[in-house]
Chain A
């Protein structure tokens, strides 16, 4: 059975701190890994990673995938209170459904 595990489950930091969120996976027929941000509503798409070692970057957020060790990290630098959210990692597998298997998320709280 496909499995996605995120750590830590929750994290509390102060504005300006840098955080690293972890996602490990065990799936068959890996296709890509996606990160989403969820703030009390629908998940919003952040990144999709398909190749190992290539960093994706958007502003203060960046992410990288290691397909050999089966994990990804999401970094957020200079955190702001608006970064407070649940960050979800999901793996897309090859196959007819193209469904996403999600981890349970990391709850990030950024204090002013």
Chain B
């Protein structure tokens, strides 16, 4: 399968615990994005990497959230001291620019986080 993959697919954790999610983008894509989606809403942008550099973070990304892409390939998203409001689907997407600079983003299957 050459699509975007995410692990785990589901995570149930107790409030206050730390969790880490992994995303493996499509291999030739140098841009990687994290989004969060809650029920009945479209995905909301969290952060963006170009190669290993984290170039932008949304104000939704509080200081409990951290993301890395150490070698410009896979990425991890860690949430510390989870809260019930963190319960959501966390989606990863990757893209590579086409010739005129417009980008299609391809999404992984997501990690569904439930904080009890």
Contacts and interface: CB of A to CB of B under 8 A. Distances in A.
Contacts of B41: 102, 104-105
A31 B102 CA distance: 7
Given A31-B102, A100-B105, A43 B56 contact: no
Interface stretch (A12-20, A54-62, A70-78, A89-97): A89-97
Interface string B84-112: 00000001010100001111111111100
B43 A100 contact: yes
A101 interface: yes
Interface string B6-48: 0000000000000000000000000101010000111111001
Interface in B42-97: 42-45, 48, 55-56, 91, 93, 95
A100 to B, nearest CB: 6
A68 interface: no
B91 A42 contact: yes
A6 to B, nearest CB: 8
A86 to B, nearest CB: 9
Contacts of B110: 41-42
B104 A34 contact: yes
A92 B102 contact: yes
Nearest to A43: B107
Given A42-B91, A104-B42, A105-B42, A99 B109 contact: no
B91 A99 contact: no
A7 interface: no
Interface in A13-56: 31-32, 34, 36, 41-45, 48, 50
Contact of A50 (B91, B102, B106): B102
Nearest to B42: A102
Contacts of A102: 41-44
5 contacts: A42-B107, A42-B108, A92-B102, A96-B56, A98-B95
